């Protein structure tokens, strides 16, 4: 699983480096990711944030449009930007829709036989990427890791964080911009889960739904969410942040531990993300460097 | 010349709005531009920066990837993001090359008959856009205007600034990221000028070359430039910042007035631009709000 360096760009005194490697979890296909290393990484291992992008995006979207690097540099935090799905699996129907298949891996491990060889973004993100990055010797302190994401990637960040709390290698915090907060009750999630999972929504309920998971999670949690009122997908009830708020409250999590802010007038775009990017990076940095 | 509002995104408390209109200077074609209005613009007219993007870019590139909006919001400055050429003129050969024709208007007024109906980005930027924006009533104080850009857009910013000093409506400052500093001596510039201008390089020399223009400009100038040593186009001698430095020095402009920094390890990408974006916005803000 040797990493091949594809490109490198100096940014904010550090380096944004693109790698690719043959991914076992993605059926042997080439997988790309970007990693931002802040200036501190030249001297020492640094804490790390994983950023999960949304539908149709790639490993470049967050790096180019998120506005994350400036504060990551100032705080001395690395950021890993994975892709959003396998690429080129060649499965029939894979490229038919923008919200399923290519660009829409939903950060799960597929169990439906049609998809299960390639569509394993959950294992790719949680196990394979950390492993290959450790092997490569990049100066990252994996005992200090947090995760964040946008839309489908916000769903991924919240569910991966909550699931990790059951393990001996938990993420220390999670944040999300306009996450799909209750996907088993949203059209995007229903379509994805019925397609990728042999057990459909019932299988998803136990592992891939943040609103379900938060009711069972042991606190104190460290979750920050921003979601905008002018977000068309919010209006279409794809995001359902109210369900996550209600579930967190009924499970007894405090508003400080699960801090979900509904932002007036903001939409689903990277203009919205970049507006709150500094706060999200600083939120994680405070926890990661505590 | 009524403006049609195409879209609007809230960002950093202000609004990024896309407009289109029938552009006379671009032969009656639809022209798009984005404008960022900071929160202050809800109460009062604000100073304005025009951002000119580089080859292959559009009105969206700088808005999405430049990292400019955060400081524009904090400083209370509007930014106008024009496109880089007319679109869809239908001229034979217009789309054959990435460095000429569509996406490569070079911020000049074409005089070669093949191009002169449509390729008039100089007039579009300096006269038409301010006029239609004034007519629209957007809260911009045109007595406080500066200009900046990247690569081909850096060339545009510097030449438009220097030319404006001869008029009674000067830009107050100019800055550039990796500008094409002496295009009459660079392959990109030679190709563009020989194509667009009936008088070729000789015609370009008098109006569209920053290194030529700076020798004749009356100071004190207000110019800031950053250019990176790992920029492949710098290595290919497309940018020639040394020629601009030498010309400024021999013309007696101080290093404070024409501040050109060669940045170790930075390349031509928006990762480079976003790194120095805060300094550029703050540089202009100090002058615009003085």
Crossing angle, helix A187-196 and helix A200-207, to 10 degrees?
Answer: 110
Task: Please report where in the chains the tokens 């007894």 appear, as a residue.
Answer: A252
**How much is the pLDDT for A43?**
97
Q: From residue B193, how far is each of A132, B42, B206, B242 by CA, in Å?
A: 50, 42, 12, 21
How far does B81 lie from chain A, in Å, by closest CA?
15
Rg of chain A in Å (alpha carbons):
17
Query: Cβ of B272 and A16 within 8 Å?
Result: no
**How much is the pLDDT for A108?**
98
**How much is the pLDDT for A81?**
98
Q: Which DSSP letter does residue B175 get?
A: E
Chain B residue with CA closest to A232: the answer is: B9
Is the bond preceding B220 in cis, omega lying within 30 degrees of 0? yes
Query: Cβ of B11 and A274 within 8 Å?
Result: yes
Q: Which of A289, A154, A156 is nearest to A225 (CA)?
A: A154
Q: From residue A106, how far is each of A29, A86, A125, A195, B200 by CA, in Å?
A: 18, 11, 11, 11, 55
**How much is the pLDDT for A12?**
98
- The number of folded domains in chain B is 1
Q: What is the pLDDT of residues A16-33, one digit of tens each?
A: 999 999 999 999 999 999
Query: Cβ of A266 and B228 within 8 Å?
Result: no
**Using alpha carbons only, what angle is made at residue A78 by residues A73 and A81, rounded to the nearest 5 degrees?**
115
Of B9, B267, B270, the CB nearest to A271: B9
Q: Which domain holds residue A89?
A: 4-289
- Which residues of chain B are modeled with pLDDT < 70? 1
**How much is the pLDDT for A2?**
86
Environment class of A252 (CB within 10 Å of its CB; exposed 0-12, middle 13-18, buried 19+): exposed
**CATH number assigned to the domain comprising residue A89:** 3.40.50.1820
- Which residues of chain A are modeled with pLDDT < 50? none
Alpha helices in chain B (DSSP H): 61-65, 69-75, 121-123, 129-136, 152-164, 187-196, 200-207, 210-216, 232-235, 241-250, 270-288
Percent of chain A with pLDDT over 90: 99
Interchain contact B44–A (C-beta under 8 A): no
- Residues A210, A194: Cα–Cα separation, whole Å: 17
- Residues B126, B208: Cα–Cα separation, whole Å: 14
Chain A residue with CA closest to B16: the answer is: A271
Q: Other CB atoms closer than 10 Å to residue A212's CB: what's the count?
A: 20
Query: Cβ of B278 and A70 within 8 Å?
Result: yes
**Using alpha carbons only, what angle is made at residue A127 by residues A122 and A133, rounded to the nearest 5 degrees?**
125
**How much is the pLDDT for A110?**
98
A11 neighbourhood in chain B, CB within 8 Å: 271-272, 274-275
Chain B residue with CA closest to A73: the answer is: B275
B231 is catalytic: yes
Q: Other CB atoms closer than 10 Å to residue B7's CB: what's the count?
A: 11
**How much is the pLDDT for A68?**
98
Task: Please report where in the chains the tokens 């380096």 appear, as a residue.
Answer: A15
C-beta of residue A244 within 8 angstroms of C-beta of residue A281 = no
**How much is the pLDDT for A1?**
60
């Amino acid at each position: 699983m040797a990493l091949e360096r594809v490109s490198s760009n100096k940014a904010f005194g550090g380096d944004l480096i693109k790698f690719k490697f043959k991914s076992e979890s993605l059926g042997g296909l080439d997988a790309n990711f970007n990693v931002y290393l802040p200036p501190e990484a030249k001297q020492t291992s640094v804490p790390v944030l994983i950023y999960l992008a949304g539908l149709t995006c790639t490993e470049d979207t967050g790096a180019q449009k998120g506005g994350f690097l400036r504060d990551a540099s100032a705080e001395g935090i690395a950021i890993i930007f994975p892709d959003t799905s396998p690429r080129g699996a060649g499965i029939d129907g894979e490229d038919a829709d923008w919200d399923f298949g290519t660009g829409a891996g939903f950060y799960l491990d597929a169990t439906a036989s049609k998809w299960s060889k390639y569509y394993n973004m959950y294992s790719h993100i949680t196990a394979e990427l950390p492993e290959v990055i450790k092997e490569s010797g990049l100066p990252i302190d994996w005992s200090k890791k947090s995760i964040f994401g946008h839309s489908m990637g916000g769903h991924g960040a919240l569910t991966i964080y909550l699931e990790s709390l059951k393990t001996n290698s938990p993420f220390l915090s999670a944040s999300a911009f306009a996450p799909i907060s209750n996907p088993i009750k949203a059209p995007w999630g229903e379509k994805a889960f019925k397609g990728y999972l042999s057990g459909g929504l019932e299988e998803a309920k136990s592992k891939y739904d943040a609103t379900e998971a938060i009711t069972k999670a042991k606190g104190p949690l460290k979750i920050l969410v921003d979601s905008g009122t002018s977000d068309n997908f919010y209006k279409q009830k794809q995001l359902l942040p109210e369900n996550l708020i209600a579930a967190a409250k009924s499970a007894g999590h405090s508003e400080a531990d699960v801090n979900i802010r509904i932002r007036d007038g903001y939409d689903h775009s990277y203009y919205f993300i970049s507006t709150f990017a500094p706060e999200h990076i600083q939120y994680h940095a405070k926890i990661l460097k505590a």
